[in-house]
Amino acid sequence: MNPWAEIDRVRSQSTKRCHLDRRRFLATAGGGIGMLALASLVADSAGAAEGSSRLANPYAVRPPHFAPRAKRVIWLFMHGGPSQVDLFDPKPQLAKLAGQPLPESFGMVMTRRQVAQNPLLGPVRPFRPRGKSGLPISDFLPYLADCADELCVIRSVHGDSVNHPQSVYQMNTGSILMGKPSMGSWVAYGLGSENQDMPAFVVLPDPGGGLKGGPPAWGCGILPVAYQGVTMRAGTTPILDLAPPSLISQGQQRATIDFLQKLNRRHLHDRDGDDELSARIAAYELAFRMQAAAPELVDTTRETPETLALYGVDQESTREFGQRCLLARRMIENGVRFVQLYSGDTNGWDAHNDVESNHGQLCQRTDKPIAGLLTDLKRRGLLDETLVVWGGEFGRMPMSESGKGRDHNPWGYTVWLAGGGVKGGLAYGATDDVGLRAAENKVHVRDLHATILHLLGLDYQALSVLHNGLEERLTGPDEAHVVDDILA
Amino acid sequence: MTAPRKLSRALVACLVATVAVSLAVSRSDRATTRADDTIQHEALFDEASADELEIYDTDREHWSFTPLARPAVPMPADLKDARGAIDCFIAERLAKRDLEPLPEADRVTLIRRLSFDLVGLPPTPDEVDAFVADDSPDAYERLVDRLLASPHYGQRWGQHWLDLARFAETDGFEHDKLRPEAWRYRDWVIDALNADLPYDRFVALQLAGDEVAPDDPQSAIATAFCLSGPDMPDINSQEERRQNLLTEMTATVGSVFMALQVGCAQCHDHKYDPVSQADFYRLRTIFEPAVQVEANKSVFVLHEDSAATKPGHLLVRGDWRRPGAEVKPAFPRILNVHGDQVPPPPEGAATTRRRTALANWLIEDDHPLTSRVMANRVWQHHFGAGLCRTTSDFGIAGEEPSHPELLDWLASDLVNRGWSLKRLHGRIVASAAYRRASRVNRTGLSDDDLAESQAHMAHLLEADPANRSLGRFPRQRLEGEAVRDAMLAAAGALNTRMGGPGIMPPLPKELLETVLADHWKVTPDPAEHDRRSIYVFARRNLRLPILEVFDRPDANASCPRRNRSTTAVQSLLMVNSDFSLTAARKLAGAVLAGSPNDANEQVRLVFRRALSREPEDDERMAAVAFLADQTQLLKDEGRDAGSLARPDPMPDASGESLDVHEAAALVDLCLAVLNSSEFLYVD
């Protein structure tokens, strides 16, 4: 009998009753506390074996909980919060009401910059039905429009905070608090990686820097630091301290590491094969392999001109983001488990003043590269097993700000998925008439997370770690729901 | 348990008055404020108690909720190698498991262990020599005393406390704004530990320094503990911010001082522990008057400016927008064995004195948790794991201690000896358990003895893989701070200046590009870059890479026990970073200054400075061979002086036989030794 299961069972009952049951359980389970202790002993010995294999090779491939629909993830994070009503969620009613205040029927609205009373701003550019599916996408995204039949657009995502950092954390870690493990870390922890020469979770930040909330967005929280996102850049030094210093030649370094490993093996020999010390020897070998593998991964010189053009690497305005999209494909292709790309420096998609100008620029920079990525993944047969996620930390308000801008909106916005295991050409869920709040088939951020984990063959309940007596999981303590209707 | 809920107003008034008068009196007299059970229940009655879950006797039986009492020291038939009471408890468990402990470690191992443990630095070669040569019977005790008296002690153990305090010098979140005075709290912790401020006082000042010692500005600084967590001064609702701070602070206080995860009860009653949601908000209400926020201004210390009290409220599902039933300030019922109360402020008081009441309650001699929790934390840092390994969760879901009676004995000892932490350290490190070997040392063993020792060790590892019976000393990896400090110390570069604002050593430019321009202004004086890691500016959103890869916590939540990871990114930093190469060059420079020409002697000096020991013959020969091969490799590569990493300082080239390739090879040897497992682990 599993006492934790017993506790979970009673937990679902009313609070008061839960406590009574807990006590009854403790009182009747024949020294109930002893049972709990036993459970923790059992967990410990299992944990010890598990711990030592994780130590020796944190990226070893681990089986999913059930057959996965996708094996890898590319997450395109549009930092600042792109506007759903101007990109993927057409609102004719908003166009009609433009210039007028939000009808009173919508009630109180919590906003970051007190814009609730401002006049509504109609969609900035027109929408058109695209592809065979007729999925509407606005004129901001002409290239992506050609991929409409691949997209599964969830229009009813909602979160809990009107502030950037809290929402950046929530979208990445499930919690508006700082310091919880990010989704990439959870996935790396749960599945390991098919590439043993590279970290399992790679982050490609915007070179402009300034992500609101900073590196905790890809932090590992309570999970081992091996699962933290490792930031990489294009260029010759893609990882911090990857290359030997300029005054140390490669041959010289290999000789030094060989001598070091000799010292370490001798040290290990006198210490009964201590797992942790073996792991350290392995880590130096992995480091050495990464020195060769990582620059090779980011070296795009052998890509064909046609491929480079597909991603927009040949054009000034799309070069930077195109290059990173191409790196993402190269990593996925080489078995890296989870790649996250950020678009947008410290201001990013945060279109407070002028949606047309802000989104005009950012869509121009990202539209062709993202369409190129989807196209390239598909023609290489990678899209079936790769889940592509697009979204920001929140969306934007239907009300205007400073005339032509929009304020933050966590209450209803769009995230789209494409590839492994999701239905293409689908719009799922809906916001209200003006795009203010999620209204139909609402998908909370934790539901989105549960769904992504599900696609990867991971049960969001089971992917948990006991910490300070509590089970920590990506979706937090509240119940989450896998959005079954979007699964292919 | 049913008790009449209603009480006449007159009786309440009378009770309140009694409590008010007795509040001002000393701890020894406070017993008079304890009401009998019935009255206590009535006085605590608030709106939220109406349908609150009750506490049952079975709840109170949980090991950590029982009042602290000093257990008798067992006298097992086989006392093994016992040196004192601690060892009697340990011998009892070893005997039960039929385990024979390892013998005492050798002297070199002991001084390296003690030095890293007590001051966070390696012993100098001279210190090692002196200790090895000292055959007086109290050599060990004098070494311990010297280390505990060193100012480095506070710098070492202060970091353990700052981990718990989720200390950083910035706010975190988007702007990660500077808290210009935060370093004063870091210095307060270091000074307090160095002065061996009794732990009860240490607790009281951090919760209520402003009330307890109103005339001493240092004491108010101690309350920065409560507000050291992340904060978002530019949040659009300052009320939300204040509520977040209160909730976070209450959860942290519960977790740090009581190892009770009360924060789990902020939305609903605790899942496992007998802590109701009302219990949480009653505790939180104690802090309410002391948290004041102003938009866009960082917080630093607690501050109250009035004794006027306002009612507190439970928040429905933890949502600050939904205040629920009214609650009165009170201590968690499960721990309140004497029914102590938070009295109203006395006549003429400048503040509510609620936090003083909380502190006084926590530091009562028989408080079930305060001393147990701290004794266990201290044990954890000496042995790598607590007697109870869930050091911040002594609740139902936490783990039971391996030696519950030993833990109680240590906790009582802490209290009985004036809450002195240094005395507790002294007790623990004096034990035979602490002095044990972590491995079989081959040196000087005959083949037969070696085989027997190895069989013994194999049995210990198999019978007790997690070392819960403490038959051997557990090997421990250095924390990031100790790795960095030890590299600086071995290189002879460590700047031991104490105190003052945090310093910012240079960062790799790739990292600088990811933060706002004014977030990392490198300290102009390069000598400051080599100060101990505890003085490195603690930016919440950016940790120094060497500290981060070696698991420095992110200061977003109290960290009771660090991860201990082994990663390739760690290895890359250790072999390739500027910091490592600089340390290796300085170590080589110091070695060359000691022996410019003799490779054997150079190897010996590298080992002594970095590993605190002499090389064995085979190691020395291997290292000398490496120097020769590496010198040849560099020559074969046709490297000229300008293309080589040379020792710092490079001795005057006038020395006839000093070859630049040999010198560069020595740098590589130093780099290898600084990267070695032996450098990073303590036996």
Q: Are B95 and B77 in contact (CB under 8 A)?
A: yes
| Cα B220 from Cα B188, distance rounded (Å) | 10
A337, A73 Cβ separation under 8 angstroms? yes
Interface ipTM: 0.91
The set of residues, in sequence order, having a beta carbon less than 8 Å from that of B532 and lying 6+ positions away, is B120, B152, B155, B481, B485, B488, B494, B495, B496
What is the rounded CA–CA span in Å between residue A74 and residue A190?
17
* Structure confidence at residue B635 (pLDDT): 97
Higher pLDDT, A263 or A236: A263
Is the minimum CB–CB distance between B632 and chain A shorter than 8 Å?
no
- Interface mutation vs chain B, best among A230, A468, A478, most B CBs within 10 Å: A468
Task: Report the C-alpha gap between A95 and A85 in whole angstroms.
Answer: 10
Contact status of A24 with chain B (Cβ, < 8 Å) = no
**In the beta sheet, which residues pair with residue A438?**
A431
Q: Where are the domains of chain B?
A: 85-149+368-463, 578-682
Cα–Cα distance measured from residue A129 to residue A139, given in angstroms and rounded to the nearest whole number: 10
| Paired tokens of B19 | 């409590």
Q: How many A×B Cβ pairs under 8 Å?
A: 257
pLDDT at B32: 34
Compare CB distances from A267 to B174, B272, B678 and report the shortest one's residue: B678
- Say what the pLDDT of residue B513 is: 76
Average pLDDT of the residues in A235-255: 90
Give contacts of B97 with chain A, Cβ < 8 Å: none
E strand or H helix that includes residue A341: strand A338-343
Count of C-beta atoms within a 10 Å radius of residue B295: 11
Residues B250, B243: contact at Cβ < 8 Å? Answer: no
Whether the pLDDT of residue B367 is over 70: the answer is yes
What pLDDT score was predicted for residue B44?
62
Our CA-based measurement puts residue B174 at a distance from the nearest CA of chain A, in whole angstroms, of 4
Euclidean distance between CA atoms A123 and B612, whole angstroms = 71
pLDDT in tens, B528-540: 999 999 999 999 9
Look up residue A462 and give its two tokens: 């089971």
Chain A: closest CA distance from residue B348 (Å): 40
On the question of pLDDT at A323 being above 90, the answer is yes
Q: Which of residues 67 through 106 in chain A touch B, CB cutoff 8 A?
A: none
CB burial of residue B539 (10 Å; 0-12, 13-18, 19+) = buried
Q: Which residue of A has its CA nearest to B400?
A: A37
Enumerate long-range contacts of A20-27, CB under 8 Å, 24 or more apart: A20/B53, A22/B272, A23/B56, A23/B58, A23/B59, A26/B58, A26/B396, A27/B58
Residues 6+ apart with CB under 8 A from B21: B346
pLDDT at A273 over 80: no
Measure the CA–CA gap between B631 and B657, rounded to whole angstroms. 14
Minimal Cβ distance to B439: which of A178, A272, A281:
A272
Q: Is B571 on the interface with A (CB under 8 A)?
A: yes
What does the pLDDT look like over A61-93, one tens digit per residue?
Answer: 999 999 999 999 999 999 999 999 999 999 999
Which segment of A160-169, B35-44, B47-56 scores lowest on mean pLDDT? B35-44
pLDDT of residue A397: 97
Phi, psi angles (nearest 5°) of residue B199? -60, -35
Express as a percent the part of chain A with pLDDT over 90: 67
B238 phi, psi to nearest 5 deg: -70, -25
Q: Does A219 touch chain B (CB under 8 A)?
A: yes
Q: What is the pLDDT of residue A223?
A: 87
CB contact under 8 A, A253 and B575: yes
Nearest CA in chain A to B511: A240
CA distances from A24 to A10, A329, B304 (A): 11, 55, 44
Checking B89-96 for CB contacts under 8 A at 24+ apart, the result is B89/B403, B89/B405, B89/B406, B89/B409, B90/B403, B90/B406, B90/B431, B90/B432, B90/B433, B90/B469, B90/B470, B93/B402, B93/B403, B93/B469, B93/B470, B94/B469, B94/B470, B94/B471
A37 and B400 within 8 Å at the Cβ level: the answer is yes
**Identity of the residue in B173, B274, B622 whose CB atom sits nearest the CB atom of A178:** B173
- Entry pTM: 0.82
Q: What pLDDT score was predicted for residue B656?
A: 56
Check CB contact under 8 Å for B271 and A213: no
Percent of chain B scoring above 70 in pLDDT: 93
Quick one: which of A229, A193, A222, A218 has its CA closest to A58?
A: A193
Beta strands in B405-496 (DSSP E): 476-477
pLDDT value of position A468:
66
Rounded Cα gap, residues A231 and A204, in angstroms? 6
**C-beta atoms of B458 and A272 within 8 A:** yes
Is B657 part of the contact surface with chain A (CB cutoff 8 Å)? no
Tell me the C-alpha distance between B161 and B202, whole Å: 11
Query: Within an 8 Å CB–CB cutoff, is residue A107 touching chain B?
Result: no
Q: Are B109 and B437 in contact (CB under 8 A)?
A: yes
Closest residue by Cα to residue B464 from B525, B346, B385: B385
Residue in A7, A201, A260, A290 to test binding to B, most B beta-carbons within 10 Å: A260
- Average the pLDDT over A218-239 and give the result: 83
pLDDT band of B653, cuts 50, 70, 90: low
Q: Which of residues 242-281 of B touch A (CB under 8 A)?
A: 255, 261, 264, 267-269, 271-272, 274
B601/A contact by beta carbon, under 8 A: no
Tokens of A4: 């934790």
| Euclidean distance between CA atoms A91 and A435, whole angstroms | 7
Average pLDDT over residues A135-153: 98
What pLDDT shows up at residue B503? 98
Residue entry with tokens 């032996």: B678
The predicted model gives A149-171 an average pLDDT of 96
Assess whether pLDDT exceeds 60 at residue A26. Answer: no
- Res B416: pLDDT: 97
Q: For the beta carbon of residue A413, count every other beta carbon within 10 angstroms.
A: 33
Rounded to 5°, angle at Cα B235 from B231 and B240: 80
Say whether B572 and A215 touch across the interface (CB within 8 A).
no
CB contact under 8 A, B393 and A469: yes
Residue B46 pLDDT = 87
pLDDT in tens, B226-269: 999 999 999 888 999 999 999 999 999 999 999 999 998 998 89
Query: Mean of the pLDDT values across residues B91-119?
Result: 96
Cβ proximity of A264 and A330 under 8 Å: no
Indicate the average pLDDT of chain B. Answer: 90
Confidence of residue B183 (pLDDT cuts 50, 70, 90): very high
Q: How confident is the model at residue A177 (pLDDT cuts 50, 70, 90)?
A: confident
Token code pair at residue B577: 């970073």
Q: Which of residues 437-456 of B touch A (CB under 8 A)?
A: 438-442
The answer to whether A109 contacts chain B (CB < 8 Å) is no
- For residue B198, the model assigns a pLDDT of 98
Q: What is the pLDDT of residue A364?
A: 97
Whether A179 sits inside 8 A of B461 (CB atoms) is: no
pLDDT tens profile A382-422: 999 999 999 999 999 999 998 999 999 999 999 999 999 99
| pLDDT surpasses 90 at B475 | yes
Q: List b or e across B627-665, with b for residues whose CB sees 16 or more CB atoms inside 10 angstroms.
A: beebbebbeeeebeeeebbbbbebeeeeeeebebbbbbb
Q: B35 to chain A, minimum CA–CA distance in Å?
A: 28
Closest by CA to B480, choosing from B574, B386, B392, B572, is B574
pLDDT-based confidence at residue A214 (cuts at 50, 70, 90): confident
B102 near A CB under 8 A: no
% of residues, chain A, pLDDT over 70: 88
CA distances B425 to B156, B377, B378, Å, are 13, 11, 7
Two tokens at B585?
């060059």
Query: Contacts of residue B546 in chain A, CB cutoff 8 Å?
Result: none
- Supply the pLDDT for residue B550: 93
Residue type, B584: A
Mean pLDDT score of chain A: 87
Beta carbons of B629 and A244 less than 8 Å apart: no
Q: Nearest-CA distance from B578 to chain A in Å?
A: 7
| CB-closest option in A55, A178, A240 to B566 | A55
Cα distance between residue B428 and residue B89, in whole Å: 13
pLDDT range class, residue A55, cuts 50, 70, 90: low
What's chain B's Rg over C-alpha atoms? 28
Helix or strand or coil: residue B204? helix
Would the CB atoms of A178 and B236 count as touching at under 8 Å? no
Q: For residues B463 and A129, what is the distance between their CA atoms, to the nearest angstrom?
A: 69
Of B53, B174, B458, the CB nearest to A165: B174
**What pLDDT does residue B39 have?**
40
Taking CA–CA distances from B580, the nearest residue in chain A reads A245
Q: Which of residues 232-291 of A touch B (CB under 8 A)?
A: 233, 237, 239-245, 247-249, 251-253, 255-257, 259-260, 262-264, 266-268, 270-272, 274, 276-277, 279-281, 283-284, 286-287, 290-291
- What are the chain B neighbours of A240 within 8 Å (beta carbons)? 508, 510-511, 545, 569, 572-573
Q: Which segment, A104-108, A297-301, A362-366, B318-322, is predicted with the most confidence on average?
A: A362-366
Give the model's confidence band at A39: pLDDT under 50 very low, under 70 low, under 90 confident, else very high. very low
Q: Which residue has the tokens 């932490």?
A: B421
Of B260, B293, B178, give the one whose Cα is nearest residue B560.
Answer: B260
For residue A213, the chain B residues in CB contact (below 8 A) are: 173-174, 541
What pLDDT score was predicted for residue A59? Answer: 85
Q: Point out the least confidently predicted range of A53-67, A240-254, B16-30, B623-637.
A: B16-30
Mean pLDDT of A166-184: 93
Mean pLDDT of B59-72: 94
3 state DSSP class of B493? coil
A346 close contact with B: CB closer than 8 A: yes
> Which residues in chain B are closer than 8 Å to A18, comparing Cβ atoms?
269, 271
- The answer, yes or no, to whether residue A36 has pLDDT greater than 80, is no
- For the cut 60, the answer to whether the pLDDT of residue B212 exceeds it is yes
* Chain B from 335 to 374: CB within 8 A of any A CB: none
pLDDT at A27: 35
The reply to whether residue A245 touches residue B511, judged by beta carbons under 8 angstroms, is: no
Residue A1 has what pLDDT? Answer: 31
Contacts of B622 in chain A (CB under 8 A): 259, 262
- At B13, is the pLDDT very low, low, confident or very high (cuts 50, 70, 90)? very low
